[in-house]
Amino acid sequence: MKLIVYGLLFITALNASAQDSLTLKDGQLKKLIAQAVVNYPKIKELEIQLGANDVQDELIKTNYRPTVTGDGSVALMAPVPSFNFNGQKLQFAPYDNYNFSVSLHQVIADFGKTRSQLMVSQANKKLQRSAIDLNRNAIAYQTAQSYFAILFLDKAIQVQQDQIRVLQENERLIQAKLKNGDALEYDLLTTQVRIANAQNTLKDLGSQQEQQYILLKLFTGNDQHGQVQPTDNNDFDLVEHIGNALAGSMEAEQINRQLDLLQVQNASIRYNYKPSIFGSLSGGVKNGYQPLITQWRPNAMASVGLSVPIYSGGRQKLQAKLGQVGIDAAKQSLNTLEKSIGKELERVNEHFHTLEAKSANQDLLVTQAERAYQLAQVRFKEGLITSVELITLQNAVEAAKLQQVQLKYEMQLDRMETHKIAGHKIW
């Protein structure tokens, strides 16, 4: 049985070594994730809780050590056995009985009980380590999402700032036309309202970016203002399909650890019903010994005992049956995860390819909007169109560029999402 259990743990270790990992080349993102997986408060909490397993192992090992107890008693007994002999009263026991002793109890053999408890504890420790790694991976992906959100908002803010500069230039042109009598006050007011709206949008984008920096500070434990610079680095390609969906999945690894624990627990049930051999040794002082029954005398006792479970009401079989139900459920959860990974990859890939097609079209829309606006500027200077028409075309440029940035951001999130679904490790 011991060889079987160790074999299970060895197979699990091999599975862990086969786990897929994505090597990040983006130095900024790599640094942020390295900080997050160490400093995130929940990770620290789980690491502290993991220390309880070491204490649990030491506690189990105390089964191999003796227990020593001290006992003392004083008892008054009446009446006491006695008889008269030659006119004298002879007592077989004193009225006051004193007994003080120290006892040592030692388990000599428990036929694998303690060893099986240690194996269960070690399997549980590996499960908790796997849970910590899974949490680290989750926070790594959350950190990456905030990182890409900041980069996207940087580009969106740049687009908005460019549009504000263009609007302010148009405002100066309209002011000049107004002085010459070629424009109306309403034209100037319309442009100023548009500038105010654009500035409000810029503030909203800045607020959204600040919220992402707040999240990064929570994840990494450090203020990241000034640490995230614009970059086009991309470590995430699109995962379109996986030959073996469970081979590199950290979620599958977690389920396998749970399965190992259940199997070890099930294998250890039989040891709970093994016999135990124990020895006891005690020594002390007491009175009541003939012929001087009131005199305190040293005494000692040594014994060896055997405890054998005979009947447990079928608990062993029922516990094994219950454990097998948990094992079967864990195996089924692996099948469920495998199907879920395939379905989610299909969904995200379909969304990505839709975005890809829209992005290609959006590039054309941006080019068309920019050329239309350039032409409109010339026509506006020549007095062929109104400021309202000019602003409308300028709005079209802004909307097209923001939509272009948004589509590329969503495509980046989809690429990253496919790695997350596949359970790839990124820290």
Residue pLDDT, tens place only, 35-82: 999 999 999 999 999 989 889 999 999 999 999 999 999 998 888 887
Is residue 140 a contact partner of residue 79, using CB atoms and an 8 Å limit?
no
Is residue 119 a contact partner of residue 5, using CB atoms and an 8 Å limit?
yes
Cα distances (Å, whole numbers) of residue 292 to 179, 184, 199, 310: 132, 129, 107, 45
Report the C-alpha gap between 263 and 274 in whole angstroms: 19
Give residues with Cβ within 8 angstroms of 232, minimum separation 6.
none
pLDDT band at 164 (very low <50, low <70, confident <90, very high): very high
Report the C-alpha gap between 283 and 297 in whole angstroms: 11
Looking at per-residue pLDDT, the higher value among 185 and 143 belongs to 143
pLDDT band at 20 (very low <50, low <70, confident <90, very high): low
Report the C-alpha gap between 53 and 271 in whole angstroms: 21
Residue 353 tokens, joined: 């390819």
Residue 409 tokens, joined: 């951001």
Count of residues in the chain:
427
Report the C-alpha gap between 399 and 160 in whole angstroms: 10
Share of the chain above pLDDT 70, in %: 95
Q: For 330-351, how does the pLDDT look when each residue is reduced to its tens digit (9 = 90+)?
A: 999 999 999 999 999 999 999 9
Q: At 109, which helix (H) or strand (E)?
A: strand 96-109
pLDDT band at 1 (very low <50, low <70, confident <90, very high): very low
Mean pLDDT score of the chain: 89
Looking at per-residue pLDDT, the higher value among 171 and 2 belongs to 171
pLDDT band at 371 (very low <50, low <70, confident <90, very high): very high
Report the C-alpha gap between 132 and 120 in whole angstroms: 19
pTM reported for the whole predicted model: 0.81
pLDDT number for residue 17? 38
- Give me the helices (H) in 221-314, please: 250-268
Q: For 320-331, how does the pLDDT look when each residue is reduced to its tens digit (9 = 90+)?
A: 999 999 999 999
Domains in the chain: ranges and CATH: 2-422 (1.20.1600.10)
Report the C-alpha gap between 30 and 368 in whole angstroms: 38
Report the C-alpha gap between 417 and 427 in whole angstroms: 15
Q: For 271-314, how does the pLDDT look when each residue is reduced to its tens digit (9 = 90+)?
A: 988 999 999 999 999 998 888 888 899 999 999 999 999 988 88
pLDDT number for residue 169? 87
